[in-house]
Every structure is written in C-alpha cells, then in structure tokens.
C-alpha cells in the first residue's frame, strides 16, 4: 500500500440525458394546444347529408374557404370573425370572389344542411361560377357502417 498516494475521487461521465426540461416544454405545449384547439373550430352548425363516398384529403398546403347554407336558406361564409353573420347571395359571391382573387390557391367548399332546398345550393353554385370560381367542393358526413 502506498501511503503517500493521493486518492482521487473521479466522477464518471454521465451518459443519461436530463429529461426534465423536455417534459416541461411538452407540458407547456400541451396546455397551449388544449387552449387553442376549440378556437380553431369555427363555422356554422349545419346537419350535413350522409354519403358513402370515400374521404378526399386536401393537401396540407391548401387553404380552405367554407360557405355554409342552413336549413332556412341563409348563407354564411367561414372567414375571420364574421362566420356567425348571415349574408345575402350577391354579397356572399362578391366576398368569395375577392378572397379567391387574393388567394388563388384557396379551395372553396359548400357545406349545406340536409334539409336545405336544392335550389339554394344550385343558386349558390351558379353565383360562385358567375363570379369566376370554377372548382367548388361539397362537404358531406360519412355514413356510419352497421355494427359501429
């Protein structure tokens, strides 16, 4: 035994990552998303017709403008904070035309209530076509399969 040798207390290098900061960041993000998620769902509540067609996914880089028709035939446009105000057809087609001319890649979708008159949907589609919008999509709910 050596009596004069110093005993060195060397610390081994730590090979683990401290996860506490990552968990803190994830918790903050979770709370932020939980608060902001209800604000993302906008629009007018309509009862959509049920169909058995396949879902068509829009590309994620596409913007979407939803025009809604309630059962009483009133028109709504889901943009900004004015999504709760009913507008007449000429005003609606003018606003949609301005939005489409400013953002040419935007997809226009019609969300019509199940009980809306067919003529209201046709009038809206004709108004959109007359204002220069050539591609319009119709929004439906999928049919629930038996046993689900």
Tens-digit pLDDT profile for residues 44-102: 566 666 666 665 555 566 778 888 888 888 888 876 555 567 888 888 888 888 888 88
Residue 57, pLDDT score: 58
Name every residue whose Cβ is closer than 8 Å to that of residue 66 and which is 6 or more positions away in sequence. 43, 77, 78, 109, 110, 111, 139
If DSSP codes are grouped into helix, strand and coil, which group holds residue 27?
Answer: helix
**In contact, 44 and 78? CB cutoff 8 Å:** yes
Domain chopping of the chain, boundaries: 50-142
Q: Hey, how many other C-beta atoms are within 10 angstroms of the C-beta on 67?
A: 27
Fold of 50-142: Nucleotidyltransferase; domain 5 (3.30.420)
């Amino acid at each position: 035994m050596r009596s004069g040798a110093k005993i060195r207390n060397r610390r081994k290098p730590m090979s683990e990552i401290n996860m506490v900061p990552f968990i803190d960041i994830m918790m903050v993000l979770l709370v932020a998303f939980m608060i902001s998620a209800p604000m993302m769902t906008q629009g007018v509540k309509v009862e959509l017709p049920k169909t058995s067609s396949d879902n068509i996914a829009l590309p994620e880089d596409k913007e979407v403008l939803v025009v809604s028709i309630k059962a009483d035939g009133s028109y709504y446009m889901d943009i900004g904070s004015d999504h709760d105000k009913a507008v007449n057809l000429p005003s609606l087609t003018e606003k949609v035309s301005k939005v489409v001319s400013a953002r040419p890649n935007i997809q226009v979708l019609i969300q019509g209530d199940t009980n809306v008159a067919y003529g209201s949907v046709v009038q809206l589609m004709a108004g959109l076509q007359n204002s220069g919008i050539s591609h319009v999509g119709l929004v439906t709910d999928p049919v629930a399969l038996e046993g689900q």
